Amino acid sequence: MPNQPLQTLLTQNPEEGYALAVTLAQKGVGITQPSEEIRKVLRPIYSRDANSLIAASQVISIHFQTIAAANNYWRTWPRYFQ
């Protein structure tokens, strides 16, 4: 994962917003546990733990909620009802 600083929360659409949310979650893990070696050791454990997977989904969801709000929910929702 490239170590690039976050420039903006603004994205073109919800799909890009979700991808950014995933990236933010990944960066959070990398900052919390900077050792790639330790992350590789732990990955087989948490990848089979339903609670860990749910927690990861929650983190992504919270990031996505923040990004969606920053993008004013993309101001495109009415087009889905046309």
pLDDT (average), residues 28-45:
96
CA angle 57, 48, 25 (to 5 degrees): 30
Which of 51-55, 61-65, 66-70, 71-75 is predicted least confidently?
A: 71-75
% of the chain residues with pLDDT over 70: 87
**Please, what sign has the CA dihedral across residues 62, 68, 73, 79?**
negative
Torsion of CA 7, 63, 29, 55, to 10 degrees: -170
pLDDT of residue 82: 46
**Residue 61 pLDDT > 60:** yes
Return the amino acid letter for 10. L
CB 21 within 8 A of CB 60: yes
Look at 50 and 73; give whichever has higher pLDDT: 50
